[in-house]
Chain A
Amino acid sequence: MRNLLELSWRLLRGGGRQSMLGTGLTAAAVAISSALLVFALAANVAFAARADREAWRNPVEAKGTPVAIEATAKDYVRDLSITVVDVAPLREVSGVRPPGMNRMPRPGEVWVSPGLAGLMRELPAEQLAARFPGKVAGTIGNDGLLYPDELVAVVGRTAADPAMAASRADHPLTSTPPTKISDFTGRAGDETVVYQIMALIASVLMVVPLLVFGGAAARLTVARRDQRLAALRLVGATPWQVVMMTVAEAVITAFGGAVLGLVLYGAAIPLLSRIEMAGGSWFAADLWPGVLPVLGVLLAVPLLVGLSAVVGLRRVVVSPLGVAKRETPPAMRFVRVVALFVILIAVPLSSRSTSTTVVVGVLGLAFLGVNLVGPWVVGVIGRITTRTARRPARLLAGRRLVDDPRSAWRTVSGVALTGFIAGFVGLLSPSSDLLGVPPSTAGLRLVVPDAQAAALAEQARERLSGAGIDAHVKTSDRSGSGRAKERTLTISLPSGDGYTVRIDTARTALAGLVPGRIAASPVDDQWQGIRLLDDVRTGTLVVLGVSFLVAIASAGITAASSVLDRRQAYALLRLAGTPLEVLDRARRTETLVPLAVMGGGSILIGMFCALPFVYAAMSVSGAVTLLTSVAVGFAGVLGAGALSRPLLRSVTANPAPRPD
């Protein structure tokens, strides 16, 4: 065993420059996949961590003796939202306190997050600070915040405070009514659950191409080792020894790549933490997936690469002459197509299921199905290209596609799978129209009890004119019934210059007018929906960005490696007078033709898979995303292929090609 490892290591090191280049390409491929794999994992961990930290703001009714009353609401300043948590302590219990605070807030105290504290210093008091009654007693630590710049205020009140009795039904989506609690554990908010599900779907969309890419990287090493390993078989190495050596070599390379990938990911954290999601950027610590997942990646990636290497080796092991002789390869089996169709039939059926696992599973399967059918289609394309070829470049390309459809598929698989994603999210991208026409009336609304409506309207006018705001306050018709009868005060402000200052001053002036109620603009009421749409768009771009990175890296690496693998043929062709351009055109054709067909095909399949989830026509932004993806995909693959042109020139410049 030790001898084998030593021999593998020596072969790995002593392979010469071009073999080292091949190993380097594999390691680079594994590094990129590992880094992105960690990212896909970390995204889920990060959303889970946020959900945990957000839980205390979703109070759960106490089962035993309550220690406090908690209620929440959303307030707004500029175009930002402030989470206001009202807490009325009922009795002292050691250890029970809101996360991020070292004690329970006392009535008359305000605790603010660093972001809010900064904003309160920055803006005049009558625009923000004056909204919070009492003195600022402390700063809320990171444990109580979702993201670094989050605006949170914890307001301490007495249990008798009218704010602790108001139902807060005026904004049911963004506020919670006063609830007696026994601790600050809370529960995951509905919104965070939505985000976690979306993160999971995004991860599946990212992980599958990563696995395909990683597997392709492993086959790269094997393809180049084929001949040498066949030679080893010829001198009498047992199949087991050959397998062990290959696996050892692949695993060593993959481990190096995985470590490199982790370092890469670590270096990218500061950049990634700036991606704004669900309201803000990230704590760097949230993006660190933790020791166990990292160890898992370090262990699983080399293992998977080793496994993939074994699969790629089967041929060599079966026959020592397996690679020495090249024969017409058997055509891909049609079974692959049948498999894809079976999966596609399952897609609409699965959408009836409410289980996320089923939906995510079917999505992953459809994705793998595209990967399965890819080589088959490439083979068919190759036969058509060969039959219709009139110029040598196309003939070479077509024959090459027929000869090794799997390898050609590896070059384009990344982009084709990205096409699947682009088709999927392109159709799912929500349009802003979903929210309806944005209201044109500028101003605020405040829901008031019917009985006090006139008095409150008068007070509002006084407060506003006291703050120097020229506003018109109108009382709407009654709504609701019985004691819950309510009216809405509509406060119109002149739009134009200085509107944001005026509206923030008005909000501040009206704060506390009706206990537990906040004056909000119609746009504020849509704020959550707007943010969700923004986040879906950001998430889409991140997933597309990741898959393009994978796709283009994979295209570049496979193109370079295919030049290395075929250096002898290329060198001899060039020597016999074939212009470099013809070789290059052949290479381009053998990438572009399958790319066009498979890219288009996967976009359609992706859209098909998204159909069950979509209830509206494709949005403009979705179409733009899709078209941009197509353009970036083609340009990226062509660019990545062009990068290996110098390599082609250098390997074909060797005037005396010798087998190695």
Chain B
Amino acid sequence: MGKSTLLHCLAGIMKPDSGEVRLLGERIDTMGERDRSTLRRTRFGFVFQFGQLLPELPADENVALPLMLGGMARGRSVQEARAWFGPLGLGGMEGRRPGELSGGQAQRVAIARALVTRPAVIFADEPTGALDQATGHEIMRILVEATKHHDASLVVVTHDPEVARWCDRVVEVRDGMILAPGQRQDRTQTLSGGNA
């Protein structure tokens, strides 16, 4: 309990009741809704368990959407979006719609979308929750590598120790409280952070 809430506070989606959230020294919990929206769109990327792709848009337009929202022309946005498909193993999937992609493929499209704006931080909430173990492993590898490659930080919420193992730093949350490193017994509630 509490790990998603913490992620939402970190990402500027919710305001914490107490405490501060800073990005590169700047407080974000005191920003207005509009500024936080802009922040989320430009500095953050999001990967969720499922349901994050718009079913009516083809894969490339799903990836291009954040760029277009940032004001980039459609043609260029789609062009830039397509550049992500090859490296993520999605070559040929550009025109497919989310319903025509497998779970792992859809998750890779979501990763491309999270990274396309070259954000400072990627927030991932149970990114492998809906995938089988092999695919989950593959997605985590791509996620971590791509984040590193683009010099971003990755914050992952997971209850899966296998996923947490990918991270440089692990913070355990239990019943809404952060556990001291020595208290780690139950690894089911984990907020993991990796600074690449």
Contacts and interface: CB of A to CB of B under 8 A. Distances in A.
A392 interface: yes
B146 interface: no
Contacts of B69: 392, 577-579, 582
A233 to B, nearest CB: 18
Interface stretch (A191-199, A359-367, A399-407, A591-599): A399-407
Interface string A82-111: 000000000000000000000000000000
Contacts of A579: 34, 37, 69
Contacts of A576: 40-41, 46, 52, 66
Contact of B42 (A326, A577, A656): A577
Contact of A392 (B50, B65, B100): B65
Contacts of A572: 46, 48, 51-52
A572 B49 CA distance: 12
A577 B66 contact: yes
Interface residues of B toward A: which range? 20 to 34
Contacts, number: 78
B51 A656 contact: no
A305 B172 CA distance: 53
A326 B54 contact: no
B37 A328 contact: no
Interface residues of A, number: 30
A577 B37 contact: yes
B126 to A, nearest CB: 11
B137 interface: no
A260 interface: no
Contacts of B14: 655
Given A403-B55, A577-B69, A582-B69, A395 B74 contact: yes
B40 A400 contact: no
Most chain A Cβ neighbours within 10 Å, of B46, B54, B61? B54
Interface string A119-139: 000000000000000000000
B56 A578 contact: no
Contacts of B74: 389-391, 395
B4 interface: yes
Contacts of A399: 54, 56-57, 61
Contacts of A395: 57, 61, 65, 68, 74
B68 A577 contact: no
B88 interface: no
Interface of A: 325-328, 389-392, 395-396, 399-400, 402-404, 568-569, 572-579, 582, 655-657, 659
27 contacts: A325-B100, A326-B55, A326-B97, A328-B100, A392-B69, A396-B54, A396-B56, A399-B56, A399-B57, A400-B56, A403-B56, A572-B48, A572-B51, A572-B52, A573-B54, A575-B40, A575-B46, A577-B37, A577-B38, A577-B40, A577-B44, A578-B37, A578-B69, A582-B69, A655-B13, A659-B50, A659-B51
Interface of B: 4, 8, 13-14, 34, 37-42, 44, 46, 48, 50-52, 54-57, 61, 65-66, 68-69, 73-74, 97-100
CB-based closest 4 A-B pairs: A577-B41, A326-B99, A577-B40, A403-B56
